[in-house]
Every structure is written in structure tokens, then in C-alpha cells.
Chain A
Amino acid sequence: MKTILIVEDSATTRALIRAVIDELGDVETVEAASGFEALKLLPQQEYDLIITDINMPDINGLELISFVRSNQRYIHLPIIIVSTERSEEDKKRGMALGATNYVTKPFKSGELLDIVKKTIGL
């Protein structure tokens, strides 16, 4: 059983990502509607993957990635950026900060599924 943390301020996109991940079967999802929520949820359990948006109202995805990577406990935790094509530059920065992969919104469900599978080795 794998556990995935989805960080995304849009409820719609969150639901969409969850629906895609549910197709994997033996996977549990935890959802954070903001960067702050993610910071609170992170220490509460072990995760196998973080999927995060970049443009969020409190802290952005880059700041979250930087936090995760600078913390010994999460240093190997895979991160997938899900962001719009407009955030091309931000995506590059995210990858430079240590994100594992990225998917561009709007995405096809197969596309996200493939990247998630590849990232967590399913």
C-alpha cells in the first residue's frame, strides 16, 4: 500500500488527480488544499509521493519542494509537479530544486498515471 499526498488549491483538480490515482488500486491519497496544510500533514505519516501544484495562495510549490528537500526525513521522497504550461519557467526551477518529475495541466489521465507509476516504481 502506497500513500500519496496531493497538494493543490483547486478542489476540482484535486478530485481529478485523485480519480486518476484511484485507478492504481492499492494506493491511499491524502489531500492538502494549501501549502500550509501540506506542511501540517507531512510529519503526521510516511508518504511515498508528493504531487504538488506550483501557483498556490500561501506558500508556492517551489517553497514546498525546497522545504521537503532540505529536511533529512524527506530527502528521498519523490515529488511530481503538476502545473500549467504557463509555469514552464517555474517548473524548471522546481526540477532544479529537486522535484522528480512534472506533468503539465491540462493532462490526460494516462499521462499522469504513467508518470506516477514510473516515479513510485509500480
Chain B
Amino acid sequence: MKASKKEFIAEAEELLEESQRLILEVQDTYQSGLNPDTINALFRAMHTLKGVSGLFGVQGITTLSHALETLMDDVRLGKIDVTAEVVSFLFKNVDILKDITDRVSQDSDEGDIAAYLRDIEAFRASLKGQVEGDSSLALIDQSILKVLSEYEEHRLKANLKDGKGIFLVKAVFPLETFDTSLEALTKTVKAGGELISTLPTSENVPDGSIGFNLMFSSVVESDELRQALGYPLDVLVKPRAAAPVPVVPETAAEAPAAAQQKPQDTHLKSTSTTVRVDIEKLDRILNTVGELTLAKGAVKRIGTELVELYGHNTLVYDIHKISQTLERRLAELQDQVLEIRMVPIGQIFTRLAQIVRRYSREVDKQIDLVLYGEDTELDKYLAEEIVDPLMHLIRNSIDHGIEHAEDRRRKGKKESGTVILRAYQKGNHVVIELKDDGAGIDLDKVRKKAIEKGLVQEGAVLSEKEVIDFIFAPGFSTKDVVSDISGRGVGMDVVKEKLSVLGGYAEVETKKDAGTTFMLTLPITLAIIKALIVRVGDERFAVPLTSMSETLIVEHKDIQTIEWKEVYYLRGEMLPMIRVSTFFKFPPVPTERSFAVVVGFGERKVGLLVDELFGQQEIVIKSLGEYLKKMHGFAGAAEIGKHEVILVLDIESLIDDSVVKQKGGAIYV
């Protein structure tokens, strides 16, 4: 992709995401009182998108954003009322624009947009012609009215209609610094009302200064306003009803002070200090850091070898010192790059919120979405990779979890269902919880289906958790319980697989008629991790430290077999054991003792039996590529120095596999 096109895609995506956020805000507020600034911002987003796409010659997006801009213009001018229908129409069309943007980014054709365009025009035509409420502008002086733009006039009318008071405040500022002073005054005005027009004037204004007449609406009585603003105030129209609790602008005291600030140099410098960077570029930096980490390891090794060869002398000491500095600085650099990659999870929550709102309408269920922990930070790559699995889970909750209103009423629940999305940090992990108050997973049905599918023998004793785990088995779907999400061909196994690839795992809690909670645990970052290097037979493997809790020396005579499971009693608790050599079908080597690496958490805690432990090392996990992707049990490969490449164990799939196989009752002896 050409750089300029990349820039376009990035800007278009940003604008469309902003639009979605604004539409959500409109949806939440249109019944209780819309903020006109939100509508105007949405209009401007479409306006900008039109401009940018026009510049890059992306004709389809230009045409559609132009049509939507026209629609939004009618909305902001009050020619079209905001209704649920308008909101969902806007959502739909932003989605369409997103799809087209995706296609453009993949270098494919924009596709035929004629039908979409007709749709927008027809929709707009069907709604237009709603008349604006009667309101008299006669109370306002003509000299003021004639400088209002059509939009400003509409806002003035709308405020009059609502019975708000209309005021005019006059302020004079030095020409050099008027923008900062005016900004402070504007802020004060906006805190207590709506700014309708800012009219610059040179009447009765000394040289080197500039005057402003700010027309605004407010429900506050004029005396209070006068005090708050600290500037002469004209009351053009008094507020109609007795004003509700007066809103005293919070910046009241600051405004006059700001106005008297000493003159500053004029400047055109932007106040924005952010840059947009392609995540690939950050990946490249991380790769370089990874390679430097290897070089650092080599320097350290040479240092140790030098001590052995020449004993302690100044040169050896220097090498040692240098290698320490290198280690510290590299760690800093790595932390800084990782920090740049972090994004607040709120970014993906916004997108998911939209899915909830739209999808719940599609299936005609009322759903309240509650979000917690939007500020929790996560690696950008992980955030993007997890958003689709989360979407599947949410759709699943809405489809199969939350009951229809009448069923809920019968069960004595409130009619609207609740979906809670919560994120929080837990050590080196981020936990994303998706909780619904629906019907819960029908475990009997799941068990039946599992037997039908031959995943387990009839009569096998299964814990509740083991039954739940079947929903993640490939091809597992019971229509009215869970998954194969509404015929979209996506099963829970895909969700599980994705998590596993990302080094995370899912836990499920479910209770009949109380609801289901999915807990997805992910590492905060993927890029560079610490790993324990182990030996099994003749092979060496890496075990990510994030997955493990401790290592043990285990005498084989202490391993017992219970119901086909090999277990070991660790501090009185039963710990299932997995022989890594058996998993990979290595020829058995008879030994008396092994090392056990304890991995997994909570109920998924198991011990991996390995032959030798080599110590910790930082590794950069590289993907195995398309060709080797199907290999089971590996999360990727890593270089561990001296050009040696080893495989990284995929702990989650090892744990899963052992559970399923053992339940099949066949393999482990």
C-alpha cells in the first residue's frame, strides 16, 4: 500500500470511529435532550471524510459521505427529527463506509455504491418536510439576525422554542491575545448555556484591540450570569419559565483574569502533540530490540568466558559493566516501545457497544449494556485480535443467553437484559469479562450433545466445568444452547483457538436462569516475553513465564493414577500431570524423577513433566507461518542465541488436549 493511501485509510477509519462514538452519544441522549454540538460534530466528521476521500480520489466514499453530510445537515438544521430510525440508519451507513474503507485498504474495488446512495436519498426524502416549531425571532434585533448562518439561526429558534433566555455579552480584548481570552470566556458561556454566535466587532473598540459580541442561550437568570461572566450583558429574551437550579459556570472566576493576561506572541503552532504511527513500524523496532537482546546475551556470555580464561582484570570488568548498562538500557527501550503500543480498551468497547445496540434491535430484545474499566490498557495488536472473538461471544449472549421479554417476565426478571463488559488488569494480564443475566448454559443439553459427538463416553463422571468446556470443542454446536453464532459459521472453538494463539485463555461460569460470565484472560503484551527453557528427550522448548507459577522435582513413584488421570499431590491439592514426551509421542526414556513445570491457573492448573530445566530467557515469539500453523501444541518459535531456534509450547492447547483425551478414556496410562 502506498504511504498516502495508508494515511487516507488511517484518517478515514479514525473519522468513522469518531462518527460511531457520536452516533452512540446521539442514541443515548436523543430522548432526554440532544447536545447540538454532537450533531454538529457528526456533520463535520462526514464533511471532513468527504473532503479527504475526494482528495484521494476514492469516489464511492466521497459520494456516500456527501449524501450523509447532506442528511446530517438537515438533522442539525432541525429539518429532520432524530428518532430511533434515524440513529440505526446512521449506524448502518457508517458500517457501509467502514466496509468500503476495508475494501480500499485491501486494494480491492470499492464496489457498487449506487444502491446505498439511493437508500440514503430515499430515507432523507421520506423524513424531510418536518416543520420547525413556531418561534418568533421578532424579539431579536435585525442587525444581529442578519449575520447568523442558517445553522445558527436554527439553533436560536430551537432555544427560543425551549423557552431559554437569549443573552448578548460584549467583551474587548487585545488583538494579540484575543483567542486565548475569548476561549476562556466561551468556556464560561458554554458551561451555563449554548453559544449561538460569535460576532467580532470594531465598534467602540480602541486601536490594537478587537471586540466580540457573543450571543448565547441559557436558563440562568441574568444577574447570576452577569456575575459569572464579568462582562456587560444584554438580555435579548428573558427565560420563559422560572429557571431551574441555576448552573453557575465553573470557570466563572477565571474568565476576567484570562482576559487581562499580558500580551503574548501570536503563534500558529498546533497544540496537538501526537503522531500517528503504523503498528508495523513499532513491530520492526521491537524486532530490532529483540535482536539486540540476543546480542546483549552474547556479550554477557563472552564476559563470563573471559573471566574463565583470564580471571578478573580491568578489561573483563569493563565488559561486565558495559553488558550491565546494555541490559538496563535495553529493558528501558523495550518498556518504552511496549508502552507506545498500549491503547485503552475503551476503543474496542465502543465498537462492541454498537454491536450490542444494533444486534439487540435485530433480534428484538431489550439490552442494557454496562461498561467498566474502559481505561484499562492493552497492546494494540491484542486489542484488535480480541475484538472479533468478543463480538462472537456478545452475539452469542444476545442470541442464546438473554431471554425474550415475556420469558424474562415469567421468570420474575426485569424485562430488559443486562450485558456487562468489564476490563481490568491482573498482574501481567488483562481480564475481559462479559457477563449476561440470561438463561445460563443448559448443561444437560451440552452433555448430551458431547456424548452424541463422541467427545465423551456415556456414563463418564464429569464435573460441571468439564461439561462447560465442551462448548469450546471444534464443531460443537447445539442450536439452542450456544454457538455457531446464529448461522454465521463461527464456533466457540474459533474463539478458544484465537485466545490460545494470543497466549490467553477463557473461563466460563454459568448458572441456570442467573446468566453466564465469560472471562477472557490475555497477556498485556505479546511482543517480548520471558520464558523458561526446558528439555524433553532430545528437544528443547520454551514455556512462557506468564503461564507458569512454579517448578517442582517430582519422583515418579509419587505420581498416582486416578480415573485415567495421572495426578500428583502438591501441598495436599491434586495436580493433574501431563507428560510432554507422551504428548509429542517421543520414545519413552525410563527415569526415576522428572521436573514438573506448574502451568495454568485456578481449575486449569496442571503440571508439565519435563526432563531438565535450563533457566529463564527473554524471547521474541515468531509465528510459525501458514505452512506450519496446523502443528498442534506450539505457539510459535523463538531464537535463543547462537542461531539456535526452539519451539514455544502452547500451554493452553496442551491443557485442553489432556482433558479431552483423558475423558475419552483412551490414551494415558
A residues neighboring B (CB under 8 Å): 10, 12-13, 33, 35-37, 39-40, 43, 54-55, 57-67, 70-71, 86-87, 89-90, 93, 96-97, 106
Contact = CB atoms under 8 A, between A and B. Distances in A.
B203 A93 contact: no
A86 B73 contact: yes
A54 B149 contact: yes
B146 A12 contact: no
Given A12-B55, A39-B178, A43-B175, A62 B149 contact: yes
B358 to A, nearest CB: 29
A39 B177 CA distance: 11
B200 A93 contact: no
Contact of B149 (A43, A70, A93, A96): A93
Given A36-B179, A55-B149, A62-B149, A10 B51 contact: yes
Contact of B199 (A59, A61, A96, A106): A59
B150 A63 contact: no
Nearest to B200: A67
A39 B200 contact: yes
6 shortest interchain CB distances as A-B pairs: A67-B200, A66-B147, A71-B202, A89-B150, A59-B198, A90-B149
Interface of B: 44, 47-48, 51-52, 54-55, 69-70, 73, 146-152, 175-176, 178-179, 182, 197-203, 210, 266, 268
B72 to A, nearest CB: 11
Contacts of B47: 55
A121 to B, nearest CB: 26
Contacts of B179: 36, 40
Contacts of A61: 149
B199 A66 contact: yes
Contact of A62 (B48, B70, B147, B201): B147
A39 B202 CA distance: 11
Choose among B70, B197, B202, B210 the residue with the greatest number of A CB atoms under 10 Å from its CB: B202
B148 A37 contact: no
9 contacts: A40-B176, A55-B47, A60-B149, A65-B147, A67-B201, A70-B201, A87-B149, A96-B146, A106-B54
A31 to B, nearest CB: 10
Contacts of A64: 200
A91 to B, nearest CB: 10
Contacts of A62: 147-149
Contacts, number: 72
A86 B70 contact: yes
Given A36-B179, A86-B70, A13 B199 contact: no
Nearest to A105: B51
Choose among A35, A57, A86 the residue with the greatest number of B CB atoms under 10 Å from its CB: A86
Choose among A39, A57, A97 the residue with the greatest number of B CB atoms under 10 Å from its CB: A39
A60 B44 CA distance: 14
Contacts of A12: 51-52, 55
A70 B146 contact: no
B150 A90 contact: yes
A18 to B, nearest CB: 15
Nearest to A12: B55
Given A12-B55, A13-B51, A40-B266, A63 B147 contact: yes
Contacts of A43: 175
Looking at chain A's contact residues, the main secondary structure is helix
Contact of B147 (A10, A33, A97): A97
A106 B55 CA distance: 12
A36 B146 CA distance: 20
A27 B47 CA distance: 30
B149 A97 contact: no
A40 B210 CA distance: 9
Choose among A10, A40, A64 the residue with the greatest number of B CB atoms under 10 Å from its CB: A40
A43 B266 CA distance: 13
Contacts of B152: 60
Contacts of B201: 67, 70
B210 A39 contact: yes
B142 to A, nearest CB: 11
A60 B45 CA distance: 18
Contacts of A63: 147, 197-200
A10 B49 CA distance: 12
B530 to A, nearest CB: 47
A39 B178 CA distance: 10
Contacts of A40: 175-176, 178-179, 266
Contact of B202 (A60, A67, A87): A67
A66 B48 CA distance: 26
A106 B54 CA distance: 10
A87 B152 CA distance: 13
B455 to A, nearest CB: 60
Contacts of A35: 200
Nearest to B148: A62
A87 B147 CA distance: 14
B93 to A, nearest CB: 18
Given A36-B179, A43-B175, A86-B70, A70 B148 contact: no
A59 B200 contact: yes
Contacts of B51: 10, 12-13
Given A39-B178, A61-B149, A66-B199, 13 more contacts: A10-B48, A36-B182, A40-B175, A54-B149, A58-B198, A62-B147, A63-B197, A63-B198, A63-B199, A64-B200, A70-B201, A90-B149, A93-B148
A48 B610 CA distance: 85
Contacts of A97: 146-147
A6 to B, nearest CB: 14
A12 B49 CA distance: 12
A61 B266 CA distance: 22
A70 B144 CA distance: 13
B199 A67 contact: yes
A84 B210 CA distance: 29
A60 B149 CA distance: 8
Contacts of A10: 48, 51
A57 B152 CA distance: 12
Choose among B147, B151, B199, B203 the residue with the greatest number of A CB atoms under 10 Å from its CB: B147
B110 to A, nearest CB: 20
Contacts of B199: 59, 63, 66-67
A74 B266 CA distance: 22
Contacts of A39: 175, 178, 200, 210
Contacts of B266: 40
Contacts of A93: 146-150
Contacts of B54: 106
Contacts of A54: 149
Contacts of A59: 198-200
